[in-house]
């Protein structure tokens, strides 16, 4: 696990965009994994700037979303499909049809989950997965207690996650759906490179557990310690509880330029 501590979330976002730019340069048809939430926005913003400047094209890539609320109307602005259309598709040059997500409006959610696993496998798997982390350590919508080997399925959101996400629903926790379809932890672990972003003091405990805690379903993100290629991009506030912060900074400062992402 490589941990990079930056002064600002914007700087972390630029590094995230560098990793994607580097990947797409050697593999224009790369498969990207997209997260929602505020953490990846700096990456999407930076990617948009590069596409507009003509230094990057994502037109040949495909993308798979991590998760989706169950039951939101098709045109609801907080439906993750619509969030990704707005925050990612709307900023870069990828065709909407090349972006896939789990169908949270399907009549048969279990079948939709299995179908989504098949779609990811048929695309050859995810090359680079962008991830955020919840304050309770969830990744995608895999809440504490999730099987560390899980695949895409229906989950029930915790009160904490619904309270955290209420800010996107006019502050009304009751407006936040109780259920979601989410890639499982096993699904996420199949991605070849995982890049997790977090910022702010509110994420400091989750980041501490993620990087330094024991692997446990109580902090689902901790399973990433078992992945061979993880990059954690965090600002100083999110890094404030890391015992190894100084070491991570020294390591990054001394990183050989040939090492890449
Ligand atoms: N399902 C998403 C997660 O994928 C995201 O990582 C988390 C943190 O969001 P934020 O980045 O806004 O803090 O929120 C949601 O619950």
Q: What is the pLDDT of residues 206-215, one digit of tens each?
A: 999 999 999 9
pLDDT the model gives residue 87: 97
pLDDT the model gives residue 37: 92
CATH 3.40.50.300 fits 2-254, yes or no: no
| Pocket lining: 183 vs ligand 1, CB cutoff 6 Å | no
Give the Cα separation of 112 and 66 in Å (integer): 14
Q: Using an 8 Å Cβ cutoff, are 154 and 122 in contact?
A: no
Question: Does 34 have pLDDT greater than 90?
Answer: yes
Q: Averaged over 37-43, what is the pLDDT?
A: 95
Active site annotation includes 143: yes
Question: Does 231 have pLDDT greater than 90?
Answer: yes
pLDDT the model gives residue 232: 98
Q: Averaged over 50-62, what is the pLDDT?
A: 98
| Ligand 1: centre distance to CA 257 (Å) | 32
The pairing of strands 179-182 and 67-69 is antiparallel
Q: Averaged over 223-244, what is the pLDDT?
A: 98
Which of 117, 138, 193, 208 does the annotation list as catalytic?
138
pLDDT the model gives residue 12: 96
Tokens 């630029």 sit at which residue? 14
Q: Which residues pair with 69 in a beta bridge?
A: 180
Structure tokens at 132: 């955020």
Q: Whose CA is nearest to atom 9 of ligand 1?
A: 37
| Pocket lining: 209 vs ligand 1, CB cutoff 6 Å | no
Question: Does 257 have pLDDT greater than 90?
Answer: no
| Pocket lining: 35 vs ligand 1, CB cutoff 6 Å | yes
Q: Using an 8 Å Cβ cutoff, are 17 and 246 in contact?
A: no
Q: Ligand 1 atom closest to Cα of 40?
A: 11
Identify which of 16, 33, 35, 159 to mutate to test ligand 1's pocket (most ligand atoms within 8 A of the CB).
35
Active site annotation includes 164: no
> How many other C-beta atoms lie within 10 A of the C-beta of residue 227?
16
Give the Cα separation of 19 and 46 in Å (integer): 12
Question: Does 81 have pLDDT greater than 90?
Answer: yes
Question: Does 132 have pLDDT greater than 90?
Answer: yes
Percentage of residues of the chain with pLDDT beyond 90:
97
Question: Does 258 have pLDDT greater than 90?
Answer: no
User: Is the overall model pTM greater than 0.90, yes or no?
Assistant: yes
pLDDT digits (tens, 9 = 90+) for 149-201: 999 999 999 999 999 899 999 999 999 999 999 999 999 999 999 999 999 99
Active site annotation includes 67: yes
Residue 197 makes CB contacts below 8 A (sequence gap 6+) with 9, 12, 13, 16, 39, 40, 42, 43, 130, 131, 132, 233, 234
Q: Averaged over 232-256, what is the pLDDT?
A: 96
Question: Does 228 have pLDDT greater than 90?
Answer: yes
Mean residue pLDDT of the chain comes to: 97
Ordered strands of the 153-156 beta sheet: 67-69, 179-182, 153-156
Active site annotation includes 127: no
């Amino acid at each position: 696990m490589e941990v990079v501590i930056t002064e600002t979330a914007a700087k972390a976002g630029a590094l995230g965009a560098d990793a994607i730019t580097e990947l797409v340069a050697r593999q224009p048809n790369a498969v990207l994994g997209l997260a929602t939430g505020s953490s990846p926005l700096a990456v999407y913003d930076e990617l948009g700037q590069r596409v507009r400047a003509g230094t990057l094209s994502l037109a040949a890539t495909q993308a798979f979303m991590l998760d989706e609320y169950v039951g939101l109307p098709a045109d609801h602005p907080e439906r993750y499909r619509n969030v990704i259309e707005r925050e990612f598709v709307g900023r870069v040059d990828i065709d909407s049809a090349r972006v896939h997500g789990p169908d949270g409006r399907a009549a048969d959610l279990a079948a939709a989950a299995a179908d989504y696993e098949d779609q990811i496998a048929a695309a050859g798997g995810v090359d680079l997965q962008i991830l955020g982390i919840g304050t309770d350590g969830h990744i995608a919508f895999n809440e504490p207690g999730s099987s560390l080997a899980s695949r895409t399925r229906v989950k029930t959101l915790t009160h904490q996650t619904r309270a955290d996400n209420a800010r996107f629903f006019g502050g009304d926790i009751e407006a936040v759906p109780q259920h979601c379809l989410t890639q499982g932890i096993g699904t996420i672990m199949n991605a070849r490179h995982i890049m997790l972003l977090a910022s702010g003091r509110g994420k400091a405990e989750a980041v501490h557990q993620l990087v330094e805690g024991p692997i446990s379903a109580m902090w689902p993100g901790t399973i990433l310690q078992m992945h061979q290629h993880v990059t954690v991009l965090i600002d100083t506030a999110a890094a404030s509880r890391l015992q190894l912060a100084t070491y991570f900074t020294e390591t990054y400062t001394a990183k050989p330029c040939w090492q890449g992402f």
